[in-house]
């Protein structure tokens, strides 16, 4: 018997982007307000979990053809590189640099290399969460 | 004004107790599921009132996050009740 999930699928197509944008906002707002890489990664995992609930595992694998273990490895590599980069300039491990820049469209903004470290945390959380969900939910 | 907010917080706690009774005593599983969803909504309103009481705006993201988590939890649990499995392997088979 085929079930008709048109309400759930249409709602998911709208709500997925709201959750995803909110997770991106929480990721970038982590320096001055609550949030950061961990919560942003968990929210992105929640958005992808909503896609997995409304559609099936094969469709989501076709839409996002990542191996999420590689995403974990990429996040760890980014975190390691951003923390080891200052050692080339005779600074201690995990020294972060920041500065004010005048960006063309965004105006004057303060950029910090801790965001890159946070990007590593984000990728590790998304990759680990999606690996767990896909491994437990699939291939029974 | 603060008295009004405290009174509404107490009312929210009382209605949360009523929903707790429904979770404890609900004859079927969907009753308990809907009661848990409504408890999530009440937690959202309690968080908003606490944000007013503590005079901070940092709880707004918590409110959105609780809403999203309650929605995903309710959807997954109702899918479990309906089909017996939460994440299907291939739906178009």
Please report the pLDDT score of residue A27 as a whole number.
94
Q: Is A28 on the interface with B (CB under 8 A)?
A: no
Whether A132 is covered by a domain: the verdict is: yes
Domain count, chain A: 1
- What SS3 string covers chain A? CCCCCHHHHHHHHHHHHHHHHHHHHHHHHHHCCCCCHHHHHHHHHHHHHHHHHHCCHHHHHHHCCCCHHHHHHHHHHHHHHHHHHHHHHCCCCCCCCEEEEEECCCEEEEEECHHHHHHHHHHHHHHHHHHHHHHHHCCC
Whether A78 is covered by a domain: the verdict is: yes
Please report the pLDDT score of residue A73 as a whole number.
95
Q: pTM of this prediction?
A: 0.88
- ipTM for the predicted complex: 0.86
Whether A77 is covered by a domain: the verdict is: yes
Please report the pLDDT score of residue A126 as a whole number.
95
Please report the pLDDT score of residue A139 as a whole number.
64
Please report the pLDDT score of residue B93 as a whole number.
64
Mean pLDDT by 10 residues, chain A (140 residues): 84 95 92 90 94 90 90 94 90 85 80 90 95 82
Using one digit for the tens of pLDDT, what is the confidence trace for B31-82?
999 999 999 999 999 999 999 999 998 999 999 999 999 999 999 999 999 8
Q: Is A55 on the interface with B (CB under 8 A)?
A: yes
- The parent domain of residue A74 ranges over 6-138
Task: Identify all chain A residues contacting B79, using CB atoms and an 8 Å cutoff.
Answer: 53
Task: Identify all chain B residues contacting A43, using CB atoms and an 8 Å cutoff.
Answer: 65, 68
Whether A104 is covered by a domain: the verdict is: yes
Q: Is B81 on the interface with A (CB under 8 A)?
A: no
C-alpha B79/C-alpha B93 separation (Å) is 18
């Amino acid at each position: 018997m085929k079930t008709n999930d048109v309400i759930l699928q249409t709602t998911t197509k709208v709500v997925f982007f709201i959750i995803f944008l909110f997770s991106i906002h929480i990721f970038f707002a982590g320096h001055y307000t609550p949030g950061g890489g961990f919560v942003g990664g968990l929210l992105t995992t929640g958005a992808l979990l909503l896609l997995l609930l409304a559609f099936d595992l094969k469709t989501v694998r076709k839409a996002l053809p990542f191996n999420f273990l590689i995403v974990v490895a990429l996040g760890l590599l980014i975190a390691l590189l951003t923390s080891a980069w200052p050692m080339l300039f005779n600074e201690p491990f995990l020294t972060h640099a920041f500065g004010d820049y005048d960006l063309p469209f965004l105006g004057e903004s303060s950029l910090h290399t801790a965001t890159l470290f946070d990007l590593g945390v984000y990728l590790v959380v998304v990759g680990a969460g999606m690996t767990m969900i896909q491994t437990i939910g699939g291939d029974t | 004004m603060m008295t009004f907010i405290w009174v509404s917080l107490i009312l929210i706690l009382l209605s949360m107790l009523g929903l707790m009774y429904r979770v404890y005593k609900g004859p079927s599983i969907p009753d308990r599921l809907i009661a848990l969803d409504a408890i999530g909504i009440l937690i959202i309103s309690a968080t908003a009132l606490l944000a007013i009481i503590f005079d901070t705006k940092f709880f707004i993201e918590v409110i959105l996050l609780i809403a999203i988590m309650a929605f995903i939890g309710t959807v997954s649990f109702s899918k479990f009740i309906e089909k017996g499995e939460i994440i299907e392997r291939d739906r178009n088979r």
